[in-house]
Structure 1
Amino acid sequence: MSDSDNLFCDESFLREKVEATPAEASGKSNWKLMVVDDDEEVHRMTGAALRDFTFDGRGLDFIYASSAKEAKAALNNHPDTALIVLDVVMETEYAGLDVVKYIREVLNNKFMRIILRTGQPGMAPENDVIVNYDINDYKTKSELTIQRLYTSIVTCLRSYNDLVRLDDAYKKLKKEAEERILIEKQLAEKEYQAAIGMAITQIVHGAKNILNALKGGEYMINTALKKNDNELLLKGWDAAKTGISRMSALTRDLLDVSRFNQIEFKYGSLTTLAEEVIGMFQDTGDSPGVEVSGEIDKSIPPLLFDYEAIHTALMNLASNSIDACSGKQYTDPEKGRVIIRVHSDVESGFVNLDVEDNGHGMAEEDIEKIFVLFYSTKNAKGNGLGLPITKKIVEGHGGTLEVTSQKGRGTMFRIRLPLKRQ
């Protein structure tokens, strides 16, 4: 008896099934079923047995091939084939297995369901094939009744349909995500351009004010030289020096904005750094009328941090505190004081660098804005870059910058840095 003789020995099952569920016009395209076998009678009987098959309101479109070569050509022409019923032994002993590899590895088709059907199971043992090949079912022709074929096909089509739907949903979500990312990127680019434009406007405005001061100094110097007026000459020179100093500070701060994009961590001593900053203000006379002192816990061990960056941050805060004390009227024996403290908070795992003053203090509405680029409470004396730079440096260390202030009473800034860092 040939393979085709004992194929579909139970035709009554399919006939009863089809008659119970006639095909419906669903408007959907049929499932593509490829039958690959070198026995033409297998083609004929498979098509006859399944001619009225429906699943999910869709029938079958049959594609036939008699060899692995024909199957590969047909697969290229019909990449949307849902299911292939594939013989193993055709022009070679393992031709069918070669087609499996072609589907999965060359075409990279992971959706198509594959049922291996063989009349010579000894040539391709089931266990080896199931383990080593990406197939979905394995049947010998002697055991493949109509009911079993029907069950396998329905199972495979249901699986194929689920995979396609999931892939469609994934592609849709991916497309929506890409579109959203593009929109957000465009919005971010517009915001970035607007921020750059505003920054340039503020920089030009600040530079223009400084330039006007320099021009005023130049005018006084030229007038004094013509009149031989030494007093006016000194006033003009003082105005010019102020303008030069402000331009130097603006240039330095603008460079700091970009310089501290990358934090370089090295072991260093925060206590040494704080003592250095305190000494600079005590020794150089940069804080006239303001007493600068320190309260340093020298037991704090070396930490990983960027020495230059934290030095800049502490200098910015100390300079702001000294400016806040300058010009304030104190009642004797009180005077302007700035205290720099370094102390650890072991329980929270942070070390604190405090800069506290008894200067003018700030209103609540100013506290909310002081970390915004170019916002300054010092009017013409400030450029509004120091505190945003300081905040950027501290956050780059994984720390926080906190501020408390009372109008007329003074301000305290606190830098909190992690005691330990991986």
Structure 2
Amino acid sequence: MRSPLSDDPDLFPTLLQADADEPAPVAGRPWKVLVADDEADVHAVLRLALLDVVIEGRGLQVLDAFSAEEAKAVLAAHPDIALILLDVVMESGRAGLDLVRHIREQLANRSVQIVLVTGQPGHAPQREVISGYEIDGYRLKSELHGNQIFAQVHSALRTYRLMREQEQLQRDLELKVRQLDAAVAALRESQANFIRAQSVAHVGSWNYELASDEMHLSAETCRIFGLPEGTVGNYRGYLERVCSEDRASLEAAWQHFLRLGGTFEHEHRIRVGNAVRHVRQRADLTFAADGRPLRSLGTTQDITERKQAEVELRRSNAELEQFSYAISHDLRQPLRMIASYLQLLGTSLADRLNDEQSVYFGFAIDGAKRMDRMLVALLEYSRVGRLGEPAAWIESRAVLDEALLFLQPTIAEATAAIDICGEWPRVFVRPDEMLRLLQNLIANALKFRLPGRNPEIRVISRLAGSEWRLVVADNGIGIEPAQLGRLFQVFQRLQSRAQFEGSGVGLALCRKIAEHHGGRIWAESDGGGRGSRFCVVLPMPGEAA
């Protein structure tokens, strides 16, 4: 069957004219156009009509199908076809219309443009087809000319491009919505976790706008102050909740913070009903360009339990120190009595005791004396931090010289060499406690020496920032690394009493002195026979540095 397109004598000149009017260069991937018609001359004419056509900078790639089934195969191989020029009557009278249904419903392809091009309108009346099928154009083959084909293709491809852009925008929008929903969900979960974390830690937050005098409180801050959630407070309202004894210091600290900025930190008590709570406030400050304070963001921590624990700990420590003092002091009298009577008995019965019995008396007397020394050491240990001189600025070298003076007989007896190194600054310490610490550390270095080796002891001092660092190093018996953790415990001994006399309290006393000054002490050694280093670090006030 011949197509009306091939009977039109004016078609080819018109097509050539249409091509001459579109000399645009080709760029990008070509538009894919499927011609589905069972007549070969229709394919030839349309190919000629679309030859060298460039639309929006893109050429055309014309694909051919001579039946609806072939068209389905081409669509499967090329899902990005933009336009289908479709005949109605092919292998059947409604093959083209059935193909439209297949594309729109089974393939769910709504973007491809479908233009019906029929030479037998009786098989596909225009009104019925447009109403019943999702097509984008209807043309009779007898009406088609070059410009009409160009206009139809140009319009269809532009519509296809706009629909694909709309689909992409829709997909992007849906993706953004999903991302936003996920972000909102994550934010809500984060806020919930933040609220739970604040509740567990008893730490709330707040934001204070100075201009409007509005303090926005988190849920946990409201709970700490016994307020309904969502309460907006103000400065005066907060001060009214602060215990009157703490109000003046809080106001002074806050005004200083507003003038100078930095970090605000203050601990005080508040009244919540009939109860008193301890809180710790921390905040920073945001300033305007002209230097005016604008707002403050801060945290409120409920430290009531910590304060109660501190009070209980102080009470317990005081009782323990009093107990230690009572034991060490009150037990010495009967112990001295035992030792004295044992000595009297040993003297009066000396001519009637055999050698073994004399040894037994010696063991008993020695044990009583050793226990007395241990009680004296325990008494001294209990006094650290409780009795003695207050902290003061002293010359550290003077304290060292005094310790060495006390130890001079031991130094001479051991033929020890003492090397004093570093800088010895003025330090803020308790003089009597620092004397005991230096004396104990140097005395240990003299005592725990190797037979046949003269002790060599270095005492080093230096300031490092706001810390005073001391080291007492020796060439003595050393310490096995596995034993270092036991050194500073009360009555712990690493060496037998037969080799080295002692109460086992000296290093525990040094640890207590260091900790009472807010510092720390530790020991270092490369092992047995390789000497030891005892290190002490004490914080110093800023002006000391």
TM-score norm. by structure 1 comes to 0.49
Larger Rg: 2
> Which structure would you say has the larger RCO, counting Cα contacts within 8 Å and 6 or more residues apart?
1
TM-score norm. by structure 2 comes to 0.39
